[in-house]
Amino acid sequence: MWDERYAGTEYVYGTQPNDFLAEMVDRIPAGPVLCLADGEGRNGVFVATRGHAVTSVDASSVGLAKARALAAERGVALETVQADLASFDLGEGRWAGIVSIFCHLPPAIRGPLYAQVARSLMPGGVLVLEAYGPGQLGRGTGGPPVVEMMPDAATLEAEVPGLAWEHRYEGERSVVEGWGHTGDAWVVQLIGRRR
């Protein structure tokens, strides 16, 4: 499904970074960054332009090919890994930052994945997360048509134990990020840091 969605030359979510990531990127300390479900790479490439070594992981080889093309156009290095997040090993003490932007997964995949986040971060490392929340259901401005894939902030915080939460917001904002995400939306934003 994602390979088909990304098949055209246009970038479905644009080539500019997610608004929340652009606002929060300076909270990530120096070091390598993992971008989960990075799709066509707009966020991974942006983080790379800020001096981080970035690994973008996504299931879509078509999306990741466009991510590499965007990185080349911007003159930055980007490592891409095609993998199913259902069985992805985040490693231990490896990342200065983990970026999860509109990474909508079923609970059976999301739970085991997010349970690895705290130990895979370096001490002081940061999770930057924005996703549609349950209030997005039925708006038709982006996100999956399944509420279980759009948890609220409390659910996400429980799924990512071991972080100190520095920012939490859930509510409305206007999202204009490519034709795939456009319109008034209901989002969850979290910043969590490993102590």
Binding ligand SAM (rule: CB under 6 A), the pick from 22, 65, 69, 109 is: 109
| Residue closest to ligand SAM when measured from CB atoms | 39
Tell me: does residue 176 bind ligand SAM (CB under 6 A).
Answer: no
Tell me: does residue 58 bind ligand SAM (CB under 6 A).
Answer: yes
Q: What CA–CA distance (Å, rounded) separates 20 from 38?
A: 15
Tell me: does residue 55 bind ligand SAM (CB under 6 A).
Answer: no
Q: Which is nearer to ligand SAM, 99 or 195 (CB)?
A: 99
Binding ligand SAM (rule: CB under 6 A), the pick from 63, 97, 151, 192 is: 63
Tell me: does residue 59 bind ligand SAM (CB under 6 A).
Answer: yes
Q: What CA–CA distance (Å, rounded) separates 165 from 163?
A: 6
Are residues 108 and 85 in contact, defined by beta-carbon separation less than 8 angstroms? no
Structure tokens at 9: 């030359």
Per-position DSSP letters for 114-167, written without gaps between them? HHTHHHHEEEEEEEEEEEE-GGGTT--SSS-S-GGGS--HHHHHHHSTTEEEEE
Residues that bind ligand SAM (CB under 6 A): 2, 13, 18, 37-39, 42-43, 58-60, 63, 84-86, 101-103, 105, 109
